[in-house]
Structure 1
Amino acid sequence: MTTETTVTTETTVDVEDRGDRVVVTLDRPAHRNAINAVMIAELHDVCAAVERDPKPVVLVGRGEHFAGGADIAELRERERTEALAGINRNLFDRFARLPQPTIAAVSGYALGGGAELTYACDIRIATPTAVFGNPEPGLGILAAAGASYRLPTLVGMSVAKQVLLGGRSLDAEAALRAGLLLEIVDDHLDAAHRLVDRVVRQSALALRLTKTIVDAPGAHPWADDIAQAVLFETEDKRDRMIAFLERKKR
C-alpha cells in the first residue's frame, strides 16, 4: 500500500508582470497581510526578478489593508541571532535599492514592518482609510527594519520621533501634511498605475541614475556630472530632444 503525502506550499505574494511594470500584491488578507518568513522569501524573489529586468514596481495589499505589521507569532520566537541577521531590514533595504521607481499603494493599516516596507518605496499613494505607525516599542522591540533612518528623511525628525517614540499613528491626512504621501485618492491602485504611466514615458536610464544619485548620502556634484555625461552620450537623449524641438515648431 502506497501512501501519498500532499505538500501544501503557502503563497503570500501575487506577482503580475505587465511588461512595462510589475504589480506585487501582498496576499495574506486573513492576517491583514502580516509579513512572515514566507513573504520575505517571496519578496526577495521579486527583487531578484526586477534586478534582472528593471521596471517600476507597484506594491499593494490584498483586501482592506496594506500590511498590519510583521507576523507577531514569528517575531515572538526570534532571538538574538535572527535579530542580528536583519531579516526584514535586509529585504527592505534591497527593495529600496531597486533600479526603477517603486510605488506603495496603501489602504488601511500600514503598521510596523508594513509601514517600514512603504518607507522603503520611492512614492506612496493612499486612500482615506490609510494609517501608518510603528508600535514596536509596545511589544518590547524597536522599529529596526529601516524606520530609524528612512522615516526622519521622509517626514522630518520631529514627526518621526512622534511616531517612533510617542506611539503616534499618522492617518492619511496627517501623512499627506507630513510629506509621506503624494496624494490621497479613493482608488489607490488606479492612481498608482496612472503615476507609473507617467514614469514609463520617461527615460529608464535617466530615472535609474536619478534614483541612484538622490539616494546617495551627502553632496556628490562629481557623481551628478558623471551620470549626466553618461546620459548626454545616449541615442535616447538625442531622440527625445529632437522630438521635443520638433513638437515645439508645430
Structure 2
Amino acid sequence: MIEVTERDDVALITLARPEKLNALTAGMRRDLAAAVRACGKDARGIVVTGTGRAFSAGEDIHEAAGKSLIEEVELFHDMTRAVLETRVPVVAAVNGLAVGGAAEWTLCFDTRIGTPAAEYFLPENHLGLSISNAASYLLPRLVGARALRLVLDSTRMTAEQALATGLLDEIVAPERLLDAAAERVRHWTRPGTATAVHLALLRPSPDEVERAFERETEAARQVDESGIAREGMSRFVNRPRR
C-alpha cells in the first residue's frame, strides 16, 4: 500500500491507501522504512506524499488494538531512523491531513512543503497514547517551547497555522506540490554542492534521537501497562460513526 516511483532522478514514495486516509498498518511502516533506505542509496533525493485527502491518518488504530504498543511504537521509530540514515534530502509533500505518528515522522524530514489543505493533528494525549518518532526531541527543535502545549492540547492546525508554528516550511498550490518538492531536492543537489556533508552536520543528532526513542518506548510501556492506551484506542475504535 505504498508506491515507489521516480520523477526524473528523484524518488517518490506515495502512501496509497486513500480509503483509510493512508492510515499506516504495521506492514506499511516496515515497507516505508525499507523504501527510504533503498531509495536513499540510488536516488538524488526522496519525496514522500499521500493520495486522496490525507497525507496519512497515522497509526491504523483498528489494526493496532490488541497488539503490543511497544512494537507499534518501535516501527515508527525505525521509519524516522531510516530517514536520518540517508545522505540525500528527504522532503515531505503534505497533501492533506497528517495525524499522530505520520505527522511526527515528517519532523525528521529536511523540509516540509504543504498545500492549503494540509493539516497537522497530534491527538495522542487525549487518546491516552504517547508520542513517538523522537517527537519529544524533534518537535521542540522545530517549534521551541510551544511543543508542550501542542502535545497536551492534542492540537489540530491548519496549513497556515502549521506554517506560522514552523511545522511547514512552505505552502504551494496542490497542482504544484510534487514539482515543488522535487525542485527543492534538485536545487539542493546541483553539481558541486556539499549537501551530503551539511545534512550530516545539520540534521538532528543521531545520539539525541536514539535517546528520545528510548524515552518514548518507556513512555509507551507506561501508558500500555496503566491501561489508558487500551481504553483510548477502544474509545476510538468504538466511537459513533458520523
CA RMSD of aligned residues (A): 2.0
**Distance across 2 between alignment mates of 1:48 and 1:76:** 28
**Distance across 1 between alignment mates of 2:69 and 2:171:** 39
Residue 127 of structure 1 deviates from its aligned partner by: 0.8
Could you list the per-position Cα deviations for residues 134-183 of structure 1 after superposition, in whole angstroms to 9, with x for gaps in the alignment? 1012221111222211111111122x112111122221111111222221
**Distance across 2 between alignment mates of 1:42 and 1:180:** 25
**Distance across 2 between alignment mates of 1:189 and 1:80:** 34
Aligned residue for 2:14? 25
Distance 1:202 1:163, change over 3 A: farther
Residue 96 of structure 1 deviates from its aligned partner by: 2.7
Amino acid at match of 1:34: A
User: Does residue 104 of structure 2 align to residue 131 of structure 1?
Assistant: no
Equivalent position SS for 2:32: helix
Provide TM-score, normalisation by structure 1: 0.75
Instruction: Report if the CA contact (8 A) 1:68-1:112 is conserved.
Output: yes
Instruction: Report if the CA contact (8 A) 1:55-1:99 is conserved.
Output: no
Residue 189 of structure 1 deviates from its aligned partner by: 1.6
Distance 1:216 1:186, change over 3 A: closer
Distance 1:166 1:216, change over 3 A: closer
* Alignment counterpart, residue 158 of structure 2, candidates 147, 158, 171: 171
**Distance across 2 between alignment mates of 1:132 and 1:178:** 11
Aligned residue for 1:153? 141
Could you list the per-position Cα deviations for residues 64-105 of structure 1 after superposition, in whole angstroms to 9, with x for gaps in the alignment? 11001110012212225525x712112222223321111101
Instruction: Report if the CA contact (8 A) 2:10-2:182 is conserved.
Output: no
Runs of 4+ residues deviating >6 angstroms: none
Q: Which has the higher contact order (CA 8 A, sep 6+)?
A: 2
**Distance across 2 between alignment mates of 1:178 and 1:94:** 26
Amino acid at match of 1:16: T
Residue 116 of structure 1 deviates from its aligned partner by: 1.2
Equivalent position SS for 1:23: strand
User: Does residue 36 of structure 2 align to residue 47 of structure 1?
Assistant: yes
**Distance across 2 between alignment mates of 1:133 and 1:29:** 18
**Distance across 1 between alignment mates of 2:115 and 2:85:** 26
Structure whose CA Rg is larger: 1
Could you list the per-position Cα deviations for residues 32-82 of structure 1 after superposition, in whole angstroms to 9, with x for gaps in the alignment? 001111211211221231343252101100111100111001221222552
Q: How many residues are aligned here?
A: 204
Provide TM-score, normalisation by structure 2: 0.77
Identity rate, percent = 35
Residues 186-197 of structure 1 correspond to what in structure 2 (within 5 A)?
186-187=173-174, 188-197=177-186
Equivalent position SS for 2:65: helix
Instruction: Report if the CA contact (8 A) 2:13-2:47 is conserved.
Output: yes
What are the ranges of 5 or more consecutive residues in structure 1 without an aligned counterpart?
A: 1-11, 219-250
Amino acid at match of 2:110: D
Equivalent position SS for 1:103: strand
Distance 1:68 1:44, change over 3 A: same
What are the ranges of 5 or more consecutive residues in structure 2 without an aligned counterpart?
A: 207-242
**Distance across 2 between alignment mates of 1:216 and 1:189:** 25
Aligned residue for 2:239? none
**Distance across 1 between alignment mates of 2:192 and 2:204:** 20
**Distance across 2 between alignment mates of 1:217 and 1:90:** 15
Instruction: Report if the CA contact (8 A) 1:21-1:57 is conserved.
Output: yes
User: Does residue 69 of structure 2 align to residue 86 of structure 1?
Assistant: no
Instruction: Report if the CA contact (8 A) 2:37-2:83 is conserved.
Output: no
Residue 216 of structure 1 deviates from its aligned partner by: 5.3
